[in-house]
């Protein structure tokens, strides 16, 4: 494999409210879950003080953007109302926008009404949709209207049933067909700033997840930014027989593999370690390139 063709090479930019974010070198997206039932950090960031402290940590450690979620998408999570989701998000967005007015903010939601409100009320820059429009048929039109970068993730089912014996004939083929159709529809609507997320852990077994990771390089065929969310997930702690709290080392290992196979964005709970992984992989690749010049 020629790493220089997959990493620190292709010029990719996102238009975030008139600001161009260069993804020719990988970036880190820090996670801020303001939910009481997230699989790893539930209840940790539900007060003003906790949100302030976590936001400060995320950006001081080098994240390029923050992803704020008010609806837990862990397997079997409870379905909450639109009003409750917006209430959670609004509290966090008010804090982040006031204290860090220039930062790039992504909101993790599959609801078009939430997407519209957070962009209009808080100048949110990116919408991160775990369902790629499957759970809200108005989402694509809303993104086209808002003209913000849009993260589309592959998920089979919904958070309530996605892990009920997920099965595929050919998982990579199915995901590629899924993304191809979504991209075509979005492009026709005038949406061009699209980020792909294979959806590790969303309607997939542990074996499926590692199959996708092993073949991640092939997503370059879409010529779009690729985001991976591996942070502290069950595909790590089930193999290592530990818990999400003990899965940081495993997360760094898998993030490194993802970087070597073309990931542009690492969505993580632990920013410092992801930044270090990027720096070391960059040095590794540059050393290999210097040998061939």
Cα distance between residue 168 and residue 155, in whole Å: 12
Q: What whole-number distance in Å separates Cα of residue 237 and Cα of residue 275?
A: 22
Q: Would you state the pLDDT for residue 41? A: 62
Residue 110's nearest CA partner among 128, 92, 86 is 128
Give the pLDDT score at 166: 81
Q: What is the pLDDT of residue 291?
A: 62
* Residue 44 bears catalytic tag: no
So what's the pLDDT on residue 292?
A: 54
Q: Give pLDDT tens digits for 138-162.
A: 999 999 999 999 999 999 877 766 6
CATH number at residue 8: 3.20.20.20
Active site (annotated) includes residue 267: yes
Q: What is the DSSP string of the chain?
A: --GGGTSS-S--EEEETTEEEE-SS-EEEEEEE--S--TTTTTTT-SHHHHHHHHHHHHHTT-SEEEEESS--STTPPP--HHHHHHHHHHHHHHHHHH-TTSEEEEE-S-HHHHHHHHHHH---EEEETTTTSS-TTHHHHHHHHT--EEEE--SS-TTTTTSS---SSHHHHHHHHHHHHHHHHHHTT---EEEE--TTSS--HHHHHHHHHTGGGGGGG-S-BEE--TT-HHHHHHHTS-GGG-HHHHHHHHHHHHHTT--EEEES-HHHHHHHHHHHHHHHHHHHHHH-
Instruction: Kindly name the residue from 120, 233, 272, 282 that is annotated as catalytic.
Output: 233
Count the Cβ atoms, other than its own, within 10 Å of residue 50.
16
Domain interval for residue 21: 3-292
Which residues of the chain, if any, have pLDDT below 70? 1-11, 37-43, 76-77, 160-162, 291-293
Check 88, 156, 182, 267 and give the catalytic one: 267
Number of domains the chain is built from: 1
pTM value? 0.92
pLDDT at 3 (0 to 100): 45
In this prediction, residue 262 carries a pLDDT of 95
216-236 tens-digit pLDDT: 999 999 999 999 999 999 999
> pLDDT at position 79, please?
85
Beta strand 19-22 with 13-16: parallel, antiparallel or unpaired?
antiparallel
């Amino acid at each position: 494999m020629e790493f220089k063709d997959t990493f620190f090479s292709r010029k990719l930019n996102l238009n975030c409210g008139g600001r161009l974010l260069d993804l020719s070198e990988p970036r880190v997206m820090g996670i801020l879950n303001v939910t009481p039932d997230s699989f790893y950090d539930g209840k940790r960031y539900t007060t003003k003080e906790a949100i302030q402290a976590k936001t400060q940590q995320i950006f001081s450690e080098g994240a390029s953007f923050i992803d704020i979620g008010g609806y837990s998408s862990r397997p079997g999570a409870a379905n909450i109302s639109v009003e409750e989701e917006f209430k959670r998000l609004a509290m966090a967005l008010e804090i982040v926008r006031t204290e860090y007015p220039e930062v790039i903010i992504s909101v993790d939601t599959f609801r078009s009404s939430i997407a519209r409100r957070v962009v209009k009320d808080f100048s949110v820059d990116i919408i991160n949709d775990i369902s790629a429009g499957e759970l809200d048929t108005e989402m694509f039109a809303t993104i086209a209207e808002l003209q913000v970068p849009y993260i589309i993730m592959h998920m089979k089912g919904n958070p309530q049933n996605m892990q009920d014996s997920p099965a595929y004939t050919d998982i990579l083929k199915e995901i590629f067909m899924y993304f191809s159709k979504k991209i075509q529809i979005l492009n026709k609507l005038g949406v061009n700033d699209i980020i792909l997320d294979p959806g590790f852990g969303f309607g997939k077994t542990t074996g499926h997840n590692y199959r996708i990771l092993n073949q991640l390089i092939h997503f370059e065929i879409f010529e779009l930014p690729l985001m991976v969310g591996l942070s502290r997930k069950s595909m790590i702690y089930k193999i290592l027989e530990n818990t999400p709290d003990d899965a940081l080392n495993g997360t760094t290992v898998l993030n490194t593999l993802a970087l070597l196979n073309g990931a542009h964005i690492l969505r993580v709970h632990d920013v410092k370690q992801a930044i270090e992984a990027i720096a070391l992989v960059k040095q590794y690749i540059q050393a290999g390139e210097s040998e061939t010049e």
